[in-house]
Structure 1
Amino acid sequence: MTRCIRFLAVAAVLALAGTASAQNVRPAIDSQRLRLDPTAHGSLVLGDGEVLEEGQFRAALTGHYERSPMVLLTNGELRGRGLFSDGTKETQLLRERATIHLNLAMNLWKRLELGLHVPAVAYQYAENYVSPSGATINHPTQGGIAAPSAMLRYGMSSERTGAPLASAIAVEVVFPWTDKVDYGGEKGFIIAPRLEVGKAFGGLRVMADAGGQFRTKDVELTAGEKLSHEVLGGIGVATTGKLRAELTARGAFNFDGLSQSAELLAGLRYGFGEGEIYALGGPGFMESPGTPTYRGLIGFAFIGGKKAAPPPPPPPPDPCAAGQSHTPEQCPALDDDGDGVPNGQDRCPLEKGVAENQGCPDKDTDGDGVPDRLDRCPSVPGATDNQGCPKDSDKDGVPDDKDRCPDKPGIPENQGCPPERAEIKAGKIEIKEKVYFDTGKATIKAQSNALLDDVAKLIAANPQVGVVTIEGHTDSTGSAATNRALSQKRAEAVKDYLVSKGVDASRLEAKGFGPDQPVESNKTAKGREANRRVEFTIQNANP
C-alpha cells in the first residue's frame, strides 16, 4: 500500500513538472472520456442519486492508464480504438496515457454538494504523423495539468430519509484548457447536466444516470470533421459492505457522424476505517474519439467530516407484551375484550361484541327484535320482515295498521286514502276541484283528468244515481251567445271524457248555460273565476 502511494505521488510530481515540447498543430480536444464520480456512493463512475451527508467530504487520488484512445485512420479521420472498431488504423495519435486524478467532494449545505476534479497527465506517447500533403503531428507533450472541472449536485430524494428512490440532478463544467498539455483540454467550456437515480435491493444497489455534454465551441478534428454535443448515459449495479464489487456500462452518442462510444467497467473496493482502496478496469467499444481499447485504474480515498452519531437510547418496553399496560390503540393486533375482533378493527375494543357489528354488542333500541345495525327504523318498533320499520305496503307513510287504504297511496289527513275529489251530496256530485280547459277552447287540461276519473268512478259505483246533467258555465266576458256555445262544447267534452272512462252515455246529459247562472258578481276577477265552472246535477235518484 505504501509503495502504491509513493508511486502515485511521484507520478503526480512528474505531471506537474511536464512542459510543452515542440509547437505542433494538433486538435484541441479533451481525449479523457472517463470522469470519476467524486462522491462514489454507489459506483466509482456513476452517480446513484445520493449526496454526502452534512459536514462530510471525500478526497480521492487515482492512477489511470488507457490504451489507444485516439488513432488516425488511413483516410485521415481521427477516431478512438475501442473493440470491434472497423476503421483501418494508420497512426497511433495517442497510443497510451497515464493520468493522476485528484477528486474532492464536499457537502455545502443540506442536499447541495460540490465536486472538484483536477487531472494531471503523467505520461503519454504517440507516433509521429506526416500527411500526404506534408502536414505533421509530432509527439504530444509528456505531461502536465489537464482540464479541471467543477460539479454541483442537488439531492432531490434520499433513501436515507425513507424515500423509495434516491435521485439527484448534477451539472459538471469542464473549463477551457488548451495550452497546458496536448489532448488534455478544449477551447471552450464543456457543460454536462445529468439526472441520477439509485435504489437498494437488499445487498445490491442499482443506479443509472442520463444527460448530455454540450460544448460552447466545437472541436475541430482532422479531415474537416468536428465534434460538438453528445448524449451521455450509464447504468450499473454494485454490492454493499466493506468489500464491494461493481459493474457499469457507459455510453456516449454524438450527432457528428464520428461513430459512438461505449465502455464496460468492472471494479472492486475495500473500505477500512475512514479510508478505501479500489481498482477498476474494462474495455471500450466502437470508435468515437477518446474511446480506448481498454483502461485500468487504481486508487485510494479518504472520507471524513461526518460526526459519529450518539448511541441510540435503549428501546422502551413493549406495551403489547404480556402483563404490560396499554391502550387498544397501542396494540391493534391484540383482542382486549376477547370477542374475536382485533383492537384495530373493533369499534368497542373494551366491550365484548360480535364481529358482524365490528366488535360492538348488538342493541335493539325499539325492542322489535331487529338489532339496531339491521334496523332501518331503530327508534320505532316495526316488522322483522320490513327491516325493523312499520309495514307500509303502499309506501304512503301511513302504517298498514292505521291505513284505511293500505294498498293505495294516500295522505295521512285521509287515513292513508287518496283525497276525495268528488262526493255525492244533496242531488249533486260535489267536486273539490275545478275542471280546467284551454283558454277559449273546449279542450280539457291534463291536470283535471284525475278529478274526472274520480267522478267517473263515483257515477259507475253508484247505480242509484240517475241521469247526471253536466252543466257548463262561463263569466260575462264577451258576447253571451259565444259564451253559451263555448259552455255547451265544454260540457260535451266532459261528457265524452266520462264516457271514455266507462260511464254509460245514457246516464249523462251536457248543457251549456253560458253567463246566465252566475254564482258571484262578474265585476271582480274573483267572481269571474268562480263563475267559470262545471257542475254535475243529478236529475233523479233511484231508491
Structure 2
Amino acid sequence: MLTFIEGVVVPSRPSLALFSAVSSLLLCLGPASARAQDSRLPTFDLQRLQLDPAALGSLMVGTGRTLPQGMLRFAVQGHYENLPFHFQTRWEPGNGAGLVENRFTMDVTAAYGVLPWLQVAAEVPYIVKQGGKPHMDVAPPDGSGLATPWVGLRAALLRQDFGFQVAADMSAALPLGREELLARDKYAVHPRLQLGFLAEDWQVGGEAGVLLREKRDLGPLSGDSKDVIGNELRLAGTVTSRAGESTRGEVSVLVGVPLQGGRVGAELLLAIRKHALSFMDLYVMGGPGVGAGADTPTFRFVGGVSFATSKVD
C-alpha cells in the first residue's frame, strides 16, 4: 500500500520490504553476472603455425620461390601440439597445466602455379581433439571441428635458376573456424616479404612480415597484464639441404614479436623429407617452443604426405 504524507507518496512497510528485497537481489545478481561474463574464455585463433603449401623452401618457411606454372602440390598432415595455451611469466619447458594441454589437428594444404611468377595456395585445418584443465573457473575448450582456413597469393619479384630469390606473399584467414575451440579470429591477415638464396646442393631463406588480427587481453584470466594476443612482427629463417637424391633435411626458426603488448615466442623445428616416389614425399617435422607467450607450445610434431604433378627439388 502507498501512504500520502503532505503530498509525498511513501511506500508502506510491506511495499518497503518488497522494494528492499528486490534491491538486495539485484545487487547480488550484478556481481554474479559480471563474474559469469568474466569467466568466459576469450575467443581467438590459437594456432601460430602456418605451413608453406608449396614447400619449396622448408615445410614452414618460404625462400622466395613459386611453383612452376601448371604445377599442383597437395598435402595431408597430422599435427600435434603440447601445451599450446598456458600461462607462465618465464620460460619453463613442460611446466604447469594449461587450458589447452594437448591438441591434435589434421591439416590439408594445396598450392598451384598459375603463372611462372604467380602462385595461389590454401590451408584447411580440422581440430580432431584437444583437452586441458580449468583455470580460474574457466572451462577449457573441448570437442572437434573446423579451424581457421587460410588462402594465400605469392608473386615472385626476382627469379634466378641459381642465386637470389625474392617474393611478396599475402595470406588471409577465412572467418569459418569454431570460436569455442579457440580456432577463429575476427580477422587476420599476414603480409610478408620472402628472401632466399638457391644453390645446387642447399638453400637458405627468410621471411619478414606482420600478422594483423584483433587484440585480445588475457590479463583478467591470467592475472598478468603482459598476457595479450594481438598484432605481431613475424620473422622466420630456414636452411635446407638439396643434395640428397631421395632424402633431405631442414632447420627452421619462427619468432613472434608482439606489437600490442604480450610476450615473445619462438620455435625451432627440424624436418626430414623423403622422396618416396617421383610424385610423393613423406616427411616429419618437430621441435620445441621457446618463450613465455601464452600461445607458444612447448613442443610440436607434424607428419604428413604430399603429392605433386611434377618434381621440383
Normalising by the residue count of structure 2, what TM-score does the alignment of the two structures yield? 0.79
Q: Which has the larger radius of gyration?
A: 1
1:158 aligned residue = 159
Aligned residues: 267
Aligned to 1:219: 216
For structure 2, which runs of at least 5 residues remain unmatched after alignment?
1-36
Whether 1:35 aligns to 2:50 is: yes
CA RMSD across the alignment: 2.4
Q: Match for 2:203 among 196, 202, 205? A: 205
Percent identity, aligned pairs only, is: 27
Is the alpha carbon distance of 1:49 and 1:89 closer, same or farther for their aligned partners in structure 2, counting shifts above 3 Å? Answer: same
Equivalent in the alignment of 1:95: 101
Q: Do the aligned partners of 2:146 and 2:177 also contact (CA within 8 Å) in 1?
A: no
1:51–1:207 distance in 2 versus 1, CA, 3 Å? same
Which protein, 1 or 2, shows the higher relative CO under an 8 Å CA cutoff with sep ≥ 6? 2
Name the SS for the 1:92 alignment partner.
coil
For 1:201 and 1:209, the matched residues in 2 are separated by: 18
**Cα 1:179/1:235, change in 2 over 3 Å:** closer
**3-state SS of paired residue (1:137):** coil
The match for 1:512 is none
- 1:70·1:94 contact (CA, 8 Å) conserved in 2? yes
Q: Aligned partners of 2:175, 2:189: CA distance in 1, in Å? A: 11
Alignment equivalent of 1:293, drawn from 292, 295, 298? 298
Moved over 3 A (4+): 86-91, 177-181
- Structure 1 residue 177 displacement after superposition: 4.3
Q: Retained in 1: the 8 A contact 2:146–2:178?
A: no
User: CA–CA distance in 2 between the matches of 1:55 and 1:91?
Assistant: 48
Give the Cα–Cα distance (whole angstroms) in 1 for the partners of residues 237 and 110 of structure 2: 23
1:51 aligns with 2:51: no
Amino acid aligned to 1:204:
W
- Separation in 1 of the partners of 2:94 and 2:168? 40
Q: Could you tell me which residue of structure 2 aligns to residue 112 of structure 1?
A: 118
Aligned equivalent of 1:302: 307
Q: CA deviation at 1:202?
A: 3.7
| Cα distance in 2 for residues equivalent to 1:302 and 1:58 | 6
Deviation sequence 1:358-391 (CA, Å, 0-9, x none)? xxxxxxxxxxxxxxxxxxxxxxxxxxxxxxxxxx
* 8 Å Cα contact 1:281-1:295 kept in structure 2: yes
Selected match of 1:238 from 237, 240, 246:
240
Per-residue CA deviation, residues 28-61 of structure 1 (Å, 9 max, x unaligned), is 1211111110000020000011101010010000
- Alpha-carbon contact 1:116-1:151 (below 8 Å) kept: yes
> Within 2, Cα distance between the matches of 1:88 and 1:281?
15
Q: Deviations over 1:428-448 (max 9, x none)?
A: xxxxxxxxxxxxxxxxxxxxx
| Compared CA separation, residues 222 and 172, structure 1 to 2 (3 A) | same
Question: 2: distance between equivalents of 1:307 and 1:55?
Answer: 12
Contact 1:105 1:113 (8 Å CA) reproduced: yes
TM-score after normalising by structure 1:
0.47
Cα distance in 2 for partners of 1:72, 1:89 equals 10
The code of the aligned residue for 1:97 comes to R
Residue 26 of structure 2 is matched in structure 1 by none
Shift of 1:142: 1.8
The 5-angstrom pairing of residues 388-467 of structure 1 reads none
